[in-house]
Amino acid sequence: MEFVKKLHQSIHTNAALNAFYIEETFYTYQEFSDLINAIRFAIQQTIDEKEKMVGLVTNNDLQTYAAILALWFEGKTYVPVNPDLPKIRNQKIFELTDIKHIIDSSETTVFSNYRVIHSSTIASYNEDLSLKNIKENDLAYILFTSGTTGLPKGVPISFSNVNILVNAIDKEPDFNLVASDKCLQMFELTFDFSVVTYLFPLLAGSCIYTIAKDAIKYFYVYKLIKEQKLTVLTMVPSIINYLRPYFSEINAPDVRYCSFGGGALHADIAKEWSECLPNCKIFNYYGPTEYTVYSGFYPYHKDTNTKNHNGIIAIGKPQAGTQYIVVDENNQEVPTGVTGELCLGGGQVTPGYWKNPTKNKQSFFFKAYNEKKLRFYKTGDLVFKDEEGDFLYVGRSDFQVKIRGYRVELAEIEYHAKSKCEKKVNMVALDLKNKLGNAELGLAIESDKFDFSAVLEYMKTKIPDYMIPSHLAFVKEFPHSINGKIDRKKLKTHFDIN
């Protein structure tokens, strides 16, 4: 497998350089490599060649990153679990994947029912081990997200999926990491965005800066930018929402790339943020976990490239090897300019949800494309394509709700409310079920209570009255999921409509 060979090579070529900065300590590629070899030796001694899936407890330490590469170099799959999540959920994940062995760097492991490789007390092993042969369909990792049925939903990603992602990003002329780059890695390793924030820097010999465990995340990110002079940032938009009150104090001329993903990037905050990064290229990436992190991006620029719909920055064009099609309810393509569901085709589509044939039937389909039969993933995101071939994000298909029989896009309501409101605060429109089971509109505003009547009056001049929220809730801080996305379900509990 090409990218695994490249990783192996990069770790050796860059031995003298720093690979990680974790909890205020630098580690070189040589130290990283030694640890990978030690863990590989332990894997070879303990785990059968045929046993592919291995559990991984994701701590913020060198051992955990070394374990990922050790497993890959051994041709195995990592199944990460976050030690801060309930043990019962993590055990469910291990049950679903028939895990027998776990690699854990914690001082004391909570998973006593499994055979554990304790990576923090492992014996050193100084010989270099050769790479195992990896087949295309072998899995590189399985990530679990919350499923609607209450059972976690597994997304397996093959080595071939990752290889195709790496090739696509290599082909991108505007994004080239070099060994002197200092890259932010602020994601939990159970979140798919983390894959690009450790993989690309390691391939380039760059240094990866992680967030200290007990640090206040938002301020620590800024501290790293300022004191360590980071050059590459990869973040979810919610991070800059929290830093927004302090933007006037931020000036980071060393940052050359800033990639966003994992949520809608709003035009107003993108502009303000880009003023804090005077020498930076900003990429608005798009891509679901099911398509191996990234499928394409829009190159944002505050003066020249600000294409947006309802204030949400465009998601741009698909990357090399990826096809975007926009379809109606019957999976038939709709014309340019018409909104439909975005479907992704190409080599990065997951082999399918883990042991979930019902969901697989709903989410994947085959369709002829350029005379080839291609497998597509239905993203659940509504978009349209413009005349220039850029794709514009409209909203989640599950956020398109029916109010009094009319189809309403929740993002459009948020856009009009935000554009008039003088207080720059976050707002989320929600569909609330009343006693009769009908949907009514609510607007959650992230702020102390203030007079909102002028905004509502303005909205009445812009959108039909069925789109005017009939319920308001001022919420001091929006609830977020562990991945930094707004938890809409929890937000709905702030409304009392009956």
Partner 1 sequence: MNKEDIFKKIENALKTVLGHDNFQLSETTTAHDVDGWESVTHMMIISEIENNLNIKFKLMDLMNMNSVGDLVKIIESEL
Please state whether beta strands 257-260 and 308-309 pair in parallel, antiparallel, or not at all (unpaired).
unpaired
Query: Using the rule CB under 8 A, is 494 a contact of partner 1?
Result: no
Candidates 219-227, 357-365, 408-416, 461-469 — which segment interacts with partner 1 by CB under 8 A? Answer: 219-227
Task: Number of residues interacting with partner 1: please give it, by CB under 8 A.
Answer: 20
Query: Using the rule CB under 8 A, is 20 a contact of partner 1?
Result: no
Q: Which residues contact 135 (CB under 8 A, 6 or more apart)?
A: 159
Query: Using the rule CB under 8 A, is 48 a contact of partner 1?
Result: no
Output 246 or 466, the one with its CB closest to partner 1.
Answer: 246
Query: Using the rule CB under 8 A, is 26 a contact of partner 1?
Result: no
Query: Using the rule CB under 8 A, is 367 a contact of partner 1?
Result: no
CB of 223 to partner 1, least distance (A): 5
CB of 226 to partner 1, least distance (A): 7
Judge whether 98 and 86 are in contact, CB under 8 Å.
Answer: no
Among 26, 114, 175, 218, binds partner 1 (CB under 8 A): 218
Q: Which of residues 429-458 bind partner 1 (CB under 8 A)?
A: 448
Among 132, 226, 281, 307, binds partner 1 (CB under 8 A): 226
Please state whether beta strands 115-118 and 153-158 pair in parallel, antiparallel, or not at all (unpaired).
unpaired
Both tokens of 174, joined, read 């505007």
Among 357, 476, 496, 498, binds partner 1 (CB under 8 A): 476
Output 343 or 475, the one with its CB closest to partner 1.
Answer: 475
Rounded to whole angstroms, how far apart are CA atoms 182 and 254? 10
Rounded to whole angstroms, how far apart are CA atoms 165 and 3? 10
CB of 339 to partner 1, least distance (A): 33
Nearest alpha-carbon partner for 262 in 230, 297, 232, 308:
297
Query: Using the rule CB under 8 A, is 423 a contact of partner 1?
Result: no
CB of 242 to partner 1, least distance (A): 5
Q: Which residues contact 72 (CB under 8 A, 6 or more apart)?
A: 4, 7, 78, 134, 140, 159
Rounded to whole angstroms, how far apart are CA atoms 220 and 21? 13
CB of 214 to partner 1, least distance (A): 5
DSSP 128: P
Candidates 46-54, 216-224, 278-286, 431-439 — which segment interacts with partner 1 by CB under 8 A? Answer: 216-224
Residue that the structure tokens 């009769």 belong to: 436
Residue that the structure tokens 């863990």 belong to: 39
Query: Using the rule CB under 8 A, is 275 a contact of partner 1?
Result: no
Output 226 or 471, the one with its CB closest to partner 1.
Answer: 226
Query: Using the rule CB under 8 A, is 114 a contact of partner 1?
Result: no
Candidates 94-102, 214-222, 278-286, 427-435 — which segment interacts with partner 1 by CB under 8 A? Answer: 214-222
Query: Using the rule CB under 8 A, is 242 a contact of partner 1?
Result: yes
Among 176, 246, 337, 361, binds partner 1 (CB under 8 A): 246
Rounded to whole angstroms, how far apart are CA atoms 283 and 298? 6
| DSSP one-letter string for 275-330 | HH-TT-EEEEEE--GGGSS-SEEEEEBTTTB--EETTEEP-BEEPTTEEEEEE-TT
- How many C-beta atoms surround the C-beta of residue 137 within 10 A? 11
Output 454 or 482, the one with its CB closest to partner 1.
Answer: 482
The alpha carbon of 418 is separated from its chain's Cα centroid by a whole number of angstroms, namely 25
Judge whether 369 and 323 are in contact, CB under 8 Å.
Answer: yes
Candidates 8-16, 212-220, 229-237, 295-303 — which segment interacts with partner 1 by CB under 8 A? Answer: 212-220
Among 24, 107, 214, 422, binds partner 1 (CB under 8 A): 214
**Site residues (CB under 8 A) for partner 1?**
214-220, 222-223, 226, 242-243, 245-246, 249-250, 448, 476-477, 480
